[in-house]
Structure 1
Amino acid sequence: MSALEPASALACAAAGRVGEIAARIGDPAFIQECAARYTAAGFGFPGEAEVRSWRNSWPPLLQALVRAGLSDLWVYLEYGTPGGGRRLDALLVGAGPNGALGLVVVELKQWQTCRILDTTRVRRSDGVVTAHPVHQVDAYRSFFTHWRPQDAPVLDVRAVVVLHNATAEQGAVLLAGAGGGARAGIPVLSAEDLSRPGGELARLLLAGDLEVPNSRQVKEFERIRWEPSSRLLDHVGAELEGSRTFALVGDQQNAFLEVRAAAASHLPDLAVDTAREGPVGGAVITVSGGPGSGKTALAVRLLGHLMRAYPTAHPCFITPSGTLRAHLLDAVIGHSAARELFPGIGTLRSTAQRAGALVIDEAQRINRGGSRGLPPDLEAVVKKVPLAVIFLDERQIIRPGEGTTVEEIRTAARALGRTHHHLELTGSFRCAGSAAYTHWVDDLLYGTPSPWTGHDGYDLGTAADPFVLQEWIEQATADGHTARTAAGFCWPWPRDRPCTPALPLDIRIEVPSSTGAGGTRVWEAAWNASTALTAPDGSVLAPASQLWATHTGGHQQIGCIYTAQGLEYHHAGIIIGPDLTWTHGRWTAHPHQSRDETLRGLPPEQYLRYALNIYRVLLTRGTHTTRIHSTDPQTQHHLNTLIRPGGPAAV
C-alpha cells in the first residue's frame, strides 16, 4: 500500500507506515500531495498557516516515532472524524494487547506557553481562547468509544498531547492545569521528552506495547463505518445527571466551552462555582447548524451542566416543536421535575420572567405573532434572561409566520444592551456522519444537483414505487431497526377521521402495474394517529403522533414534517409528493397539491421555499440509510440519474 493511498478512501491528508512518511516528510512534493488529498477529502483548501503548521509539527513527531522504534506502525495525518466535525492532528494504529487494535490520538501544538483559564480552556499567546489540549484530545478519545459500531474490532484507545517546542517545565504546567477525572492518563510531552531514548520514548507516547499491524488489521480499521453507538433520546436522563453518554467533539466541544464561560461570567451570583472571568451582565448566544450537526445533543448537555452548576438559575429547555418536547419528556419519565425542565412553548414569556438561564432549540419555528421583527415571546427572552442560548437552522423554516434569524436576534440583543455571541456547528453526526450526504442534499435542493458517489459509505438509494418502499421498511423493522416513512403533506388528513378499530387509509398513490400488461395498482397507507391506538388484546396498533418516530408500531403509518422534524431513525423512506417536481431543469412548486392549510394558498415561488426546506428535513432523518420515491415520474427519473436505484435488499 502506498503511503498516500490506504485501503479505502479515508478522509485524511496522508496515511501509511510511519517510516515511509518520515522518509518523505522533507519533500515539497509530499506536502503538495497532502494538500491535494486534504482538499479531496472535503476539508477545503489548506491555507498558508495550515501548511506551515504541517511543516513545523510533522517532522518532530515523525522523527520521534522513528527514534522510538515505531516505524512500522500505521499513521494518519489530519484524520477526519465522520461528518467533518474535527480533524485529528495524527492517529497511530498498531496491534494492541489481547487482540485489540491500539489507537493513539496525538494532539500537536507549536505552543511554548499559554495561560490556563480553567481545566477546560486556555488562552494562547496570540490572545485566542481555545479548548485545553488535554480536554480536546480526551474528547477525541471518547469519540472512538461512542462512535464504534458493535461489529467493529475491539479498540484500545489512548491519547497524548505533544508540545514539540515547549520545555519540560512548560509541559508540566499545562498538564497540571488539566485536572484529573476523565482526562487522567493523558500525558503532555515536551521537546525534552521527544529526545528520550527509544524504549522510554515509546512508552511516553503510549505505544510501547503496540505491535506492527498487518494489512488485514489496517483494512479492518479503515473499513469501520463510524456511527453513534447510542441515541440521544435513550440517554437524556443520564445526560441531565452528568453522565457523558455522548462525546462532544470539534465545534460542539468549542461551543460547549464558550457557553460554560459565558455562564461563569453572567451568572456568578447564582453559581455553585463562582470562578469566572469577565464582566457581569446578560448574554445571548445563538448556535446555528444544519441537520444532524448536534444542536439538540449539545443543548441537552448544556442544560445538564447549567442544572448542576447554577441550580438557583432554574435553567429550562424550551422548543416550539411539540414532537421534540414529547420525546424529551418521554425520555425522562421518572426523573424528578422533568416537566419543569421542559416547559411548553406557550410559557416562553412567563418562563423568561423567572429563569436565569434558558436553552431554546428549533428557535426558527417560533411564531412571530404578526410581528415584523423578533417574535414578542423571543424578544422577552433576549430582554430578560441573563443567559439565553438559542439554537436554530434558518433552512428549517417550514411555515409562514416562522423564520427567526441570527441577524434578527443579534440586532435585538444589541439594541437591548445585551452581549451577543454566535457559534456555528459544521459537523454532521447523523446520516452515518456523512457530511458529503448533507452537502449532496443541499446541492440537490438549493444548488446544482450532482451524482451521489457514496464514497463515504452512507447508503442512499431510490425506491421504484411505494410498494417497494413499504417492503423495505417492514424488512428493516423485522430485522430490529427503527425504520419510518415520511411524506410531503399532499393527501387529506381530516381532524375528525374515525380511528377505530383501525386508522383510515388516507394516502392513495396510483402505481403502474408491475406485470407490464398496463393498468395501475393503488398503494394505500394511513397517516400517523393523533392518539395512541391499541387492539383488544392490548397490542399497539399505532403510537400517538408525537411519538410516531420512535415508538412501536410507527413504521405502519406515514409521518410528515411535523412528526419527523428534530428526530432521527435508522432507516428513512421519503415520499416526495406532487407538491414538488423537477420540471425543465429546476424545482417547481405546486401549492394546490398541498393539504397543509397554512401553505396551500401561497404563490408557487413563496411555497417553493417552504417545500424545499420541508423535504430537506425529511431527507436528513436517516442515521444509516435513506430511500427516496417521487410520485412524479419525471422527478423520479431525475433522482434515478443521480442515485443508483436501491431496493429492499440494499438495507
Structure 2
Amino acid sequence: MIIYASTKQSFIKDFEQGVLVKKLHQTLTEKYRRVGESEIHSWQTSLSYMANVMRDFAIPDLAGVAIEYIVPNTQKRVDFIITGLDQQDKEHVVIVELKQWSEAFKVTDKDNIVSTYLGGGIRETTHPSYQAWSYCSLIENFNEDVQNRPIELHPCAFLHNFDESISPELRDPIYNSILDISPMFTLGQMDSLRSFIKSYIPKPDTTNIMESIEHGKLRPSKSLQDSILKMLKGNKEFVLIDDQKVEFEQIKKAALDAIKNNQKTVYIVRGGPGTGKSVVAINLLAECIHNGYMAQYITSNAAPRNVYSAMLQQGYKKSEIKALFQSSGTFHTRKKNELQIAIVDEAHRLRKKSGMFQSQGEDQIKEIINASIFSVFFIDRNQRVTFNDAGTIDKIRNFAQDQNSLIYEGVLESQFRCNGSDGYLAWLDNVLQIAETANYDGFEGDYDFKIFDNPHEMYDAIKAKNEINNKSRVLAGYCWDWPKEGRTTSLVKDIQIPEHNFGISWNLGNSDTYAIDPDSINEAGCIHTTQGLEFEYVGVIIGDDLRYENGKLIVDITKRAKTDQSIKGIKKLLEENPDEAHRIADEIVKNTYRTLMTRGQKGCYIYCTNKELSNYFKLAYNHQLSYTYTEPQVVLSEQPLAADKTDSNIDKLNLKLDK
C-alpha cells in the first residue's frame, strides 16, 4: 500500500500549496490507522528537505514519487521513493530513509547497530543505511515484478539535521560495508543526494514502475521451515529488520561475553505471534554453527524440531541434526555448563518435570540454565496452551538469580505474520477477552479474515489456497477424541459436525511433519502439531469449548475431548484452588484459539460450532459490537450454567445480524 503516489512535479506543487501533509494524514487515517502529532511534525520537517532535494532541473518532472509505502506482509513503511529510467531506459527505484537525528553513537561490537535518542532515552537501533537496505531486501523478496522485469532498487539514508563535523560516528569504518551499498547523506550534503538520484534517474518514469511496486505480483511468503537448510548453510534467507536485528546483535554479544568470561548468563526475549522469535532463534543457531560454538535449539513441543529436522535431511547427517535440535526434557541428566549456548524457543511451553509421566528432574528451566553457560529464552505469555506449561518470565528470572547468572531482557514487537497486522492481533486479544487493547473496534483490511457459516465452504476455500504452494491447513480445537490406535486412512472422520454432514480426520501418522506433508490438507491439525510453525492460510474450527452465551464468552472445559492431555490435572486443582483452576482453564482455551488463529501469514478463516459465537465474531469484525470486558466465565464440571433470563444480548446479536 502506498499512502501518497504522484510525480515529482505534483509532489512539489502539493508541498508548496500546503496540502501534502493534509493528504498524507487523511489517507493514512482512512486506510490504515490514527496518526500522532509527532508523525505529522516529522512529515512537515523531512518532506520540506525532500522538496528542496527534488527541485533540480536534472531530475525529471515526471519521475515518480511515493511517500509512506507499506511493505507487503509487514507494517514497515518506506519513507520516500523516486522512480524513473536511466539513459538506457532501464528501470530504477531510489529508496530514501529519512531521519531527523541530530546525534548518534557507534556501537563497536554489534553489526550495523548504533545508538541515538529515541522514545525519551538513548536506545540502540539499526544504522539508517542498514534500515534502508533491509527495506529494499524486503521489497525484492516479496515482489516478483521487481525481480523479473528487472527493476533495480537503490537504498540510501538522508539525515538532514545530522552534523558530521560534530558527530562523525555514523561514518566509522565499522559501517563501511553497509555504507558502500546504501550511502548516507547528512546536513549540508543535499547536492550529493541529488547527484545520487540523478545518476540512476535522468529520465521520467514512462513505464509506471510505481504500479509494479504497489500492485505487482507477490511471491509466496518465505516460511522458516522451507528456509532452514539454506540458513544453516550460511545463506541470508531472512533479513532481520529493526528490532529483530537489534535483539539478534544484543543476544549474540551477550552470548560471546558469557563464553569469553565463563559467566553464566540468561537472556529473556518477549514477543507475540509473528514477531520473529523463531527467525531470530534459528539465525542465532546458524551464526553459532559458523563460528564454531556448541549451540542447541531447544523446545518442549516436538513439532517445530521435527519439521526443521525433516527439512535438513538433504544437507546433514542424522547424528548432526540430532545434536542441533533437542527436547527440553533431556536436560535433567546434563552436567553443569556442558553446553555453551542454549537457544530455547517457545519457552512458555517448558514444563516443571520431564519424562512421559512428568516424574523426572526438578524443573526444565532450572536444568537448562544449569547445563549451559549462556541460555536465551524466547517467550510469549499468551501461548500457554496446556495445564503443564510452566514457562514464565518470573520463573526464568528466579532460577537465573539462584545460579548467579547475569540477566538481560529484550522484546520483539514488529509484526511479520498476519500480513503484518498489529491491529488484527490487538482485535483478536480483545475479542477473545485475553486483554483489553486500544485497537478494540477492528483492524486494517490487509489481513484476510473470514467467518464461515458452513464448514464445507471454509474447507474448500483453504484447499483452494493450498493448491498454490502447499502452505495452507485446516486446524481445530481439541474438542473431538483423537483415537489411540494408529490408522492409515483419513476416511475415518474424527471431527464430526453432523448438522452440516461434515467430517475430517485428525492428522494421522504424520504428526512430526504435518506442516509440510502434501497430504496434510486432507486432515486437521491441532495445537500440538502446529504451535511454533506457520502457514500462509489457516482454517480454524472453533469447537464447543468456547461459546457465547447470555452476552458472555464461556470457556467450557467439559467440551474438550476425553483424549486431551493438555487439561490433565485441572480437576484436582479445582478441588484445591477453584479460582486458580478457573483462571488456568480460561487461559488455556483462549490461548489455544489465539495461537491457532495467528498461524496464518496472509489469512485466517474460521467456522464456529456455536452459532452465537459466530454471530459475536461477525459483529466484532464489522465494528457493530460494543465491548464489555468481563471476568472469565469458565465451566469445569458437568453442571450447566444458570441462564440469565433478564439478559437479552443474544437476541440483540441475532437481530443486528438479521438486519
Letter in 2 for 1:625: G
Query: What secondary structure sits across from 1:267 in the alignment?
Result: helix
CA distance in 1, matches of 2:367, 2:278: 22
The answer on whether the counterparts of 1:432 and 1:624 sit within 8 Å (CA) in structure 2 is: yes
Are 2:497 and 1:509 aligned? yes
* Among candidates 571, 594, 606, match of residue 628 of structure 1: 606
Aligned to 2:300: 320
Letter in 2 for 1:292: G
TM-score, L = length of structure 2: 0.79
* Among candidates 396, 404, 410, match of residue 423 of structure 1: 410
* Among candidates 229, 233, 236, match of residue 228 of structure 2: 236
TM-score, L = length of structure 1: 0.80
Query: What secondary structure sits across from 2:157 in the alignment?
Result: strand
The answer on whether the counterparts of 2:450 and 2:606 sit within 8 Å (CA) in structure 1 is: yes
User: Can you list the C-alpha shifts for 1:282-326, whole angstroms capped at 9, x where unaligned?
Assistant: 4322112111111111110111112223x2x40111011101110
Aligned to 1:250: 242
Task: Provide closer, same or farther for how the CA distance between residues 590 and 163 of structure 1 changes in structure 2, counting only shifts above 3 A.
Answer: closer
* Among candidates 485, 507, 528, match of residue 507 of structure 2: 528
Letter in 1 for 2:534: E
Give the Å deviation of 1:618: 1.0
* Among candidates 533, 549, 553, match of residue 587 of structure 1: 553
Task: Provide closer, same or farther for how the CA distance between residues 460 and 216 of structure 1 changes in structure 2, counting only shifts above 3 A.
Answer: farther
CA distance in 1, matches of 2:383, 2:104: 43
CA distance in 1, matches of 2:168, 2:197: 16
Aligned to 2:483: 494
Number of aligned residue pairs: give it: 592
- Worse-superposed segment, 111-120 or 482-491: 111-120
Give the Å deviation of 1:207: 5.8
Task: Provide closer, same or farther for how the CA distance between residues 559 and 28 of structure 1 changes in structure 2, counting only shifts above 3 A.
Answer: same
Taking the TM superposition and a 5 Å limit, the aligned residue runs for 1:433-452 are: 433-446=420-433
CA distance in 1, matches of 2:46, 2:94: 20
Query: What secondary structure sits across from 1:192 in the alignment?
Result: coil
The answer on whether the counterparts of 2:474 and 2:539 sit within 8 Å (CA) in structure 1 is: yes
Aligned to 2:195: 203
Aligned to 1:599: 567
Query: What secondary structure sits across from 2:236 in the alignment?
Result: coil
Unaligned runs of 5+ in 2: 572-580, 623-659
Taking the TM superposition and a 5 Å limit, the aligned residue runs for 1:76-115 are: 76-82=66-72, 86-94=76-84, 100=91, 102-111=93-102, 114-115=105-106
Taking the TM superposition and a 5 Å limit, the aligned residue runs for 1:197-346 are: 201-205=193-197, 208-209=200-201, 211-213=203-205, 217-224=209-216, 229-268=221-260, 281-309=263-291, 311=292, 313-333=293-313, 334-336=315-317, 337-346=320-329
Task: Provide closer, same or farther for how the CA distance between residues 228 and 412 of structure 1 changes in structure 2, counting only shifts above 3 A.
Answer: farther
Aligned to 1:156: 152
Are 2:457 and 1:468 aligned? yes
Aligned to 1:186: 182
CA distance in 1, matches of 2:14, 2:301: 54
Letter in 2 for 1:321: N
Task: Provide closer, same or farther for how the CA distance between residues 614 and 237 of structure 1 changes in structure 2, counting only shifts above 3 A.
Answer: same
Taking the TM superposition and a 5 Å limit, the aligned residue runs for 1:527-546 are: 527-529=506-508, 531=509, 544-546=510-512
User: Can you list the C-alpha shifts for 1:399-450, whole angstroms capped at 9, x where unaligned?
Assistant: 1121422233234434543332222211221223333322332222125799
Aligned to 2:574: none
Are 2:371 and 1:390 aligned? no
Letter in 2 for 1:356: Q
The answer on whether the counterparts of 1:589 and 1:608 sit within 8 Å (CA) in structure 2 is: yes
CA distance in 1, matches of 2:35, 2:590: 29
Are 2:528 and 1:562 aligned? yes
CA distance in 2, matches of 1:347, 1:26: 67
Are 2:128 and 1:138 aligned? no
* Among candidates 32, 51, 54, match of residue 62 of structure 1: 51
Superposed CA RMSD in Å reads 3.6
CA distance in 2, matches of 1:206, 1:563: 53
Give the Å deviation of 1:390: 0.9
User: Can you list the C-alpha shifts for 1:32-78, whole angstroms capped at 9, x where unaligned?
Assistant: 77567666676765365x56555554332331222363664444445
Aligned to 1:357: 341
Give the Å deviation of 1:145: 1.6
The answer on whether the counterparts of 2:346 and 2:378 sit within 8 Å (CA) in structure 1 is: yes
